[in-house]
Amino acid sequence: MAILLASRAYADDPVVRSVEVEARLQDDALRGVVRFEVTSDGDPLRVWLYSDRNAVVPSAMDQRSSRWIFPRERDLALTRARVSVDGVAREVELRHGAVGASRGRDFAGSDLDVPLSAGAHHVEVHFAYRLPERFGRLGRVGDRLTLTGPWYPLALRGDAPVDDVQHRVDLRYASTRTAVAPGERGAVLARGHLRRHRVGTFVPVALAPRWHRTLRDLPHGHSLVVLSEHALSEPPGPDARGIFALRDLNEIYVLEQLERVASDVAETLALVEEAGCAAIEPSSFVVVLAPSRTELAANAPGLVLVSDRAFEILPHEVARGFHDRAIRRALFRDALSRCAASMAEPAADRAWALDVRAALLTDLDEHRRSGRARTARELLGWAGFHPAIDQLLYAPQTAFPDVYFAGSAEPDAFRDDPTHAR
């Protein structure tokens, strides 16, 4: 198996000391500026514009899958950017690969190379684009706006976004909208104006006229927070009697299903921790029901994104299991990401390493729930392979249309997940 590495050494890239984002969202138009404080040895600062992928039609789209991307007609949106260094405007050009190439514009968007002399610099990248009517990470569907991909320019280290610097984000929008973003524990909701300080690759945001927040306690100190545009139906409680105890056969109890799946994840994490394989502190899984048709379950920093079409399938255990597995995997990845900073892999390798570990935990969870493993020793006994093999495995995130037909290398044709876009 061949592994392609970035052509530049990580040490060649400027050191990014801080990131400050100031943006305003008016209707569907987003304008803002990202301010980087950097120190360079004379090498350029490389900046990633993920949003520019919306300027072209996805090469993987065909007549059948077009409805998974665009709710109605094709809607494309170009990203514009201008740069200044220490207050002086610099001429820079967007660089991107051909549509359909491995680093094509439809996957990776565009890059900027900002020339720098040796020393400390203040770099500003002004950006502007329109949120297209589009499902997925950056778009609008009805009254909902999603900024759950890198919605502002990101500095690169090697070939991955810098992930160990605090992002100070200030986003203003209409007072009729409420934003949800990851908090220290749980979710932060803000109406009209969002301020967040967070260490990571970027700060994801989802906006709607209102959010319904539901909290559920899980085993072993974990909890589940579910955010949805509308109140989620719940089955009759244990005290219901007579006709009020009957379940509505036409209703999909999404909250009940998410709680069941998250409880399984919490049980498996407890066994893994008991075995000494990982130290994952109990915390909240923040699940946002998002308008996605290509990702059934996915991750953004501090959030688990679940399609608002989850569990809309034949209510049979086998069929439901496909959705269960994809959501469990995203929950495991979220839990593992909380200790990503302590991972031995370089920053550029952490994304695929998290994928590998999440896939392994998903398999271990299947093993536990099947009844073949009740203790930590039984659970992990079959997985004692050599660590070198673990470094070679690659398991990308499950994509929505492929979730029923996934092999060992699960396809992700549209590569909406920013960790797979480049």
Summarised one tens digit per residue, pLDDT across range 321-368 is: 889 999 999 999 999 998 766 666 776 777 888 888 899 899 889 888
- CA–CA dist 27, 411 (Å, integer): 34
* Of 299, 280, 286, 283, nearest in space to 339 by CA: 280
Fold of the domain built from segment(s) 13-206:
Immunoglobulin-like (2.60.40)
Backbone angles phi, psi at 388, to 5 degrees: -65, -35
Cα dihedral sign, 412-280-149-322:
positive
The CATH number of 212-421 is which of 1.10.390, 3.30.70, 2.40.30, 1.10.1740?
1.10.390
Strand 284-290 to 160-161 pairing:
unpaired
| Mean pLDDT, the chain, whole residue set | 86
Domain ranges, ordered by start, for the chain: 13-206, 212-421
Burial of residue 206 (CB within 10 Å: 0-12, 13-18, 19+) is buried
pLDDT one-digit tens code per residue, 186-245 = 899 999 999 999 999 999 999 999 999 999 999 999 999 999 999 998 887 778 777 776
pLDDT bin (cut points 50, 70, 90) of residue 390 is: very low
Measured at the CA of 299, the angle between CA 283 and CA 29, to 5 degrees, comes to 115
Question: What is the mean pLDDT of the segment spanning 18-46?
Answer: 97
Is 375 within 8 Å of 307 (Cβ atoms)? no
Task: List, for residues 288-324, the tens digit of each pLDDT value.
Answer: 999 999 999 999 999 999 999 999 876 667 678 889 9
Task: Specify the range with the lowest mean pLDDT, choosing from 104-118, 163-177, 270-284.
Answer: 270-284
- Sheet containing 138-141: order of strands: 138-141, 144-147, 205-208, 178-182, 187-191
304 to each of 89, 224, 335, 337, how far by Cα in Å? 39, 11, 10, 11
Q: What is the mean pLDDT of residues 5-25?
A: 76
Q: How far is CA 163 from the centre of its chain?
A: 14
**HEC string of 213-237?**
EEEEECHHHCEEEEEECCCCCCCCC
